[in-house]
A and B are shown apart, each in its own frame.
Chain A
């Protein structure tokens, strides 16, 4: 349950509202671009699947076309799922923060901040995994 507003609390004043609304607008734009790019990537992969599978089989000898295609498809699906989930948190944060500010609804605003936290949490975990991968590949 949401607690009552206190006069001692920090406020989402006009300056904060302006900044958060602008941030939400750009966050929404970024998430839409993310969704579109993932969609285009999937379409591109399906349209050129034979060429991509051949190139992959040539790049890694000993891998058949179908196995190469399977590996690439699995990698693409995992990547797309991660990006879509990340963008979902971002677009949810942007939408709820904006709606919360416009309707002055504390619960909606807090849900927006929770989604923003989820976005940065997931982004942080992916950053740590990326850093570990970079470390492992450094001496190769």
Chain B
């Protein structure tokens, strides 16, 4: 019979005291990163809602577009950041809970969230690189045309 995913054998690696110590500290720092990110997002909202500096202020359509752009950019940044940091928070929380409560399912869920965190960051990096490459191609194409 095939072993199920949660079954372990005596030949498996264990989360011994050294590993627990490393994971506890990793989870603590991950939590600090999440807190810093969330506080940073609050500041981003405050900054986006602050009145613009003098040369950006003024009447007319242009200034409202700039302001709307700033707020939209801030919202997109915060939404993406919150999604990423949610998984990092879950990793920190569940890993700590798993180690302190000796709970294998919690530890596994913590590692699963770490995996999802790295996948999301990886996919975002790929998207960013694609956008940069397309921008460079577009820029050089417009440069050769004129």
Q: How many A-B residue pairs have CB under 8 A?
A: 145
Contact A110 B22 (CB under 8 A): yes
Contact flag A127-B12 (CB < 8 Å), given A10-B104, A13-B5? no
Contact with B along A100-118 (1 / 0, CB 8 A): 1100111001100110110
Residues of B within 8 A of A16 (CB): 107-108, 111
Interface positions of A from 59 to 75, Cβ below 8 Å from B: none
The stretch from B13-21, B59-67, B71-79 touching chain A is B13-21
Quote the shortest CB–CB distance from A94 to chain B (angstroms): 9
Contact A113 B98 (CB under 8 A): no
Cα A113 to Cα B107 with chains together (Å) = 14
The stretch from A23-31, A45-53, A79-87 touching chain B is A23-31
Cα A126 to Cα B117 with chains together (Å) = 19
Contact A13 B104 (CB under 8 A): yes
B70 at the interface (CB under 8 A from A): no
Tell me whether chain B's interface is mostly helix, strand or loop, or mixed: helix
Contact A110 B115 (CB under 8 A): no
Residues of B within 8 A of A20 (CB): 111, 114-115
Contact B29 A120 (CB under 8 A): yes
Residues of B within 8 A of A18 (CB): 5
Cα A135 to Cα B99 with chains together (Å) = 35
A58 at the interface (CB under 8 A from B): no
Quote the shortest CB–CB distance from B25 to chain A (angstroms): 5
Contact B11 A12 (CB under 8 A): no
Quote the shortest CB–CB distance from A21 to chain B (angstroms): 9
Contact A10 B47 (CB under 8 A): no
A124 at the interface (CB under 8 A from B): yes
Cα A19 to Cα B116 with chains together (Å) = 9
Residues of A within 8 A of B11 (CB): 104
Quote the shortest CB–CB distance from A67 to chain B (angstroms): 26
Contact A131 B36 (CB under 8 A): yes
Residues of A within 8 A of B6 (CB): 13-15
Contact B47 A131 (CB under 8 A): no
Interface residues of B (CB under 8 A from A): 3-8, 10-20, 22-23, 25-26, 29-30, 32-33, 36-37, 39-40, 43, 46-47, 98-99, 102, 104, 107-108, 111-112, 114-115, 117-119, 121-122, 125, 129
A-B contact pairs, 26 of them (CB 8 A): A7-B10, A9-B15, A10-B14, A10-B20, A10-B99, A10-B104, A10-B107, A12-B13, A12-B15, A13-B5, A13-B8, A14-B3, A19-B111, A23-B118, A33-B129, A101-B13, A104-B12, A104-B13, A109-B13, A116-B26, A117-B25, A120-B26, A120-B30, A124-B32, A130-B36, A135-B43
